[in-house]
């Protein structure tokens, strides 16, 4: 990819937080942005400040595969290619498993997993079949929840684990000739609007209402204004830098909370393998080499 000329980015969830900050950063740097979101009017200030040759704002519901396809096609029609995809649209849900009804739980999976899957499919297709030369960068916005579980977070965590499993598998499916580079962004607590405007609130199940219960503690912590200490503007600057690396990481943990969680989980997995390794002795078919 020629990074000396303006690159064409497609950003999902561009209305607020990482999506909005990334869109503003890219425009400032001179890149071209296809900004997608459910309510295009939210970006009216940006459309007024930038010509259509630099910014294309499209209405998009990522849970609808045809809309995702059409958004990519409109971007290609306008700019001829899509170099980088910031797969950022997401929905937060806080509540214990028994506090969340199936419809609400599925809604989170539809956005965080299936929506991201639709975008991933289209990105790979465009990188391989439309871009000339072939190639592109796909940034999957995951979370600390994509690495470890947490109380009052079961459905959101499941959606991000699913996205990470999908992405790790897809990264191994691609031909090197396609020149597609994928990185999962794993943010910790950043001071964004997600806890105020992009969260689904549910009625807590009575069995978990005791303030000393782990889920209640998480809900209390998440409601504190001083809890998120990460700067989202600084975060998107780091994320943008990753797209210039020749050999980007599959995972980019962003925040000390995530670094600690990653190391703790790696240690726990190694400990489990060491402690229970012998339980796999003698379980193999006679004559096999296992």
Query: Hey, which residues are catalytic here?
Result: 142, 156, 160
Task: Find the DSSP H helices in 44-185.
Answer: 44-49, 65-79, 102-109, 116-129, 154-173
171 prior amide bond cis, ω within 30: no
Structure tokens at 183: 């990185």
Angle, CA 214 vertex, CA 211 and CA 216 arms, to 5°: 40
Please give the Cα distance from 105 to 111 (Å, whole number): 10
**Is there a contact between 56 and 78 (Cβ–Cβ < 8 Å)?**
yes
Distance of CA 190 to the CA centre of its chain: 14
Please name which of 49, 50, 155 lies closest in space to residue 101, comparing C-alpha atoms. Answer: 155
**Is there a contact between 139 and 91 (Cβ–Cβ < 8 Å)?**
no
Please name which of 66, 67, 7, 65 lies closest in space to residue 36, comparing C-alpha atoms. Answer: 67
Residue 85 pairs in a beta bridge with 10, 138
**Is there a contact between 71 and 36 (Cβ–Cβ < 8 Å)?**
yes
Task: Label residue 74 exposed, middle or buried (CB < 10 Å: 0-12, 13-18, 19+).
Answer: middle
């Amino acid at each position: 990819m020629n990074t000396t000329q303006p690159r064409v980015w497609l950003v999902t969830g561009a209305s607020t937080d990482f999506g909005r900050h990334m869109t503003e950063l890219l425009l400032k740097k001179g890149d071209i942005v296809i900004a997608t979101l459910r309510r295009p009017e939210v970006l009216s200030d940006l459309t007024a400040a930038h010509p259509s040759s630099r910014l294309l704002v499209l209405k998009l519901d990522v849970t609808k595969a045809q809309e995702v396809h059409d958004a990519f096609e409109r971007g290609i029609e306008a700019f001829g290619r899509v170099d980088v995809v910031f797969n950022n649209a997401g929905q937060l849900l806080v509540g214990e498993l028994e506090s969340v009804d199936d419809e609400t739980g599925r809604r989170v999976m539809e956005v965080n997993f299936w929506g991201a899957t639709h975008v991933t499919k289209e990105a790979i297709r465009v990188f391989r079949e439309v871009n000339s030369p072939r190639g592109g960068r796909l940034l999957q916005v995951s979370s600390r929840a994509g690495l470890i579980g947490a109380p009052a977070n079961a459905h959101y965590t499941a959606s991000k684990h699913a996205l990470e499993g999908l992405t790790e598998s897809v990264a191994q499916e691609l031909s090197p000739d396609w020149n597609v580079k994928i990185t999962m962004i794993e943010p910790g607590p950043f001071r964004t609007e997600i806890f105020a405007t992009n969260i689904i609130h549910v009625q807590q199940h009575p069995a978990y209402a005791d303030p000393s219960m782990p889920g209640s503690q998480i809900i209390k912590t998440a409601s504190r204004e001083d809890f998120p200490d990460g700067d989202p503007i600084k975060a998107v600057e780091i994320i943008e830098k990753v797209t210039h690396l020749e050999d980007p990481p599959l995972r980019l943990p962003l925040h000390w909370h995530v670094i600690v969680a990653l190391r703790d989980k790696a240690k726990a997995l190694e400990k489990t393998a060491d402690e229970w390794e012998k339980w796999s002795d003698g379980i193999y078919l006679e004559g096999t080499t296992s």
